[in-house]
Copies of this chain bind each other. A is one copy, B any other.
Amino acid sequence: MSIIDQAAPIGVFDSGLGGLTVLQALRERLPHERFVFLGDSARCPYGPREPKEVKAFVLQICSHLARRGCKMIIIACNTATAAGLPAAQQAFDIPIVGVVMPGARAAVHMTRNRRVGVIATEGTVQQGVYGEAIHHLDAGIKVIQKATPEFVSIAESGFEEMDEGTTQAAPFSLKEECQRVAQGYLAPLRAEGIDTLVLGCTHYPLIQELISQEMGPSVTLVSSAEETAREVRAILSRRDELRSPGEDDGVEVLITGDDATKFTRVAQKVLGITPPITKVMLDEVREEGEGTS
């Protein structure tokens, strides 16, 4: 029964930098909204952690963003979505959207030969969330999932190197090495004859070109960042909760670690702006997140 404040910000969070691709996709589709982005950099990465621990982090961060008055929260991380989305939806009154379902739905819409690949971190692949989400929509689609964890470090190092003066056309000094890794990961997916590939980690849109070169023009890439932004726009638009143009739109970045310099640099690249960055302390995890509905 909560009254929605249309002017309230949208909360977006990730363990680290990857979620900035989701934030940027949201900004493009929702230019009048305000955003609060929280990067849990002190505890990054989430990938190798136990799902139970990640779920507790998700509830803790949602609690923080809800207290800041967010009208909606986007879990801009596949690992966190897989581990904590249902618990967060049960615990809070505001809509909470993950990145898995929108990506799965787009893949179902796009595939013609009904063979879909998914690349993601090992945690996301092991939990099988994309396979489940795709089959929930179309039980006849063949889903081939592949863990491609090194893509995360390639995506992050790509950014670092661009700062050191290489051009956008050749963002990696170790370009051939990256292509070799990509070939090793992606050749088996090519061999499976997929026509659609889901980028199931929010870091991957940063190296979309590398992946696209390896897969060839006949394979459509689905960015879960882009699809999540479409979904959020659909929700706010349907509910007539899109924000009117105003003076104070913009982005605020909160981080939990001591890497403000890195965040500033990457935010400038991904968002094209220099948002204010504040270090925050999250409250202790309490057992609050279970079953209010």
Query: How far is B101's CA from A292's CA once the two chains are assembled, in angstroms?
Result: 24
B4 and A112 within 8 A (CB): yes
Cβ of A184 under 8 Å from chain B: no
**A–B Cβ pairs within 8 angstroms, 12 of them:** A1-B193, A2-B113, A4-B112, A86-B140, A87-B139, A89-B139, A91-B140, A106-B238, A109-B239, A114-B293, A133-B136, A141-B293
Cβ of A177 under 8 Å from chain B: no
A90 and B292 within 8 A (CB): no
Residues of B within 8 A of A114 (CB): 93, 293
CB of A216, distance to nearest CB on chain B (Å): 16
A139 and B86 within 8 A (CB): yes
Residues of B within 8 A of A142 (CB): 293
Query: How far is B4's CA from A90's CA once the two chains are assembled, in angstroms?
Result: 42
Residues of B within 8 A of A91 (CB): 140
Most buried by B among A4, A87, A235, A293: A293
A110 and B293 within 8 A (CB): no
- Contact indicator per residue, chain A 108-121, by CB within 8 Å of chain B (1) or not (0): 01101110000000
Query: How far is B292's CA from A293's CA once the two chains are assembled, in angstroms?
Result: 39
Residues of chain A whose beta carbon lies under 8 Å from any beta carbon of chain B: 1-2, 4, 85-93, 95-96, 101, 106, 109-110, 112-114, 133, 136-142, 193, 234-235, 238-239, 292-293
B106 and A140 within 8 A (CB): no
Residues of B within 8 A of A234 (CB): 109
Most buried by B among A96, A101, A114: A114
CB of A144, distance to nearest CB on chain B (Å): 12
Query: How far is B135's CA from A101's CA once the two chains are assembled, in angstroms?
Result: 12
Given contacts A93-B114, A293-B114, contact A238 B139 (CB under 8 A): no
B139 and A90 within 8 A (CB): yes
Closest to A89 in B: B140
Query: How far is B112's CA from A225's CA once the two chains are assembled, in angstroms?
Result: 24
Query: How far is B89's CA from A140's CA once the two chains are assembled, in angstroms?
Result: 5
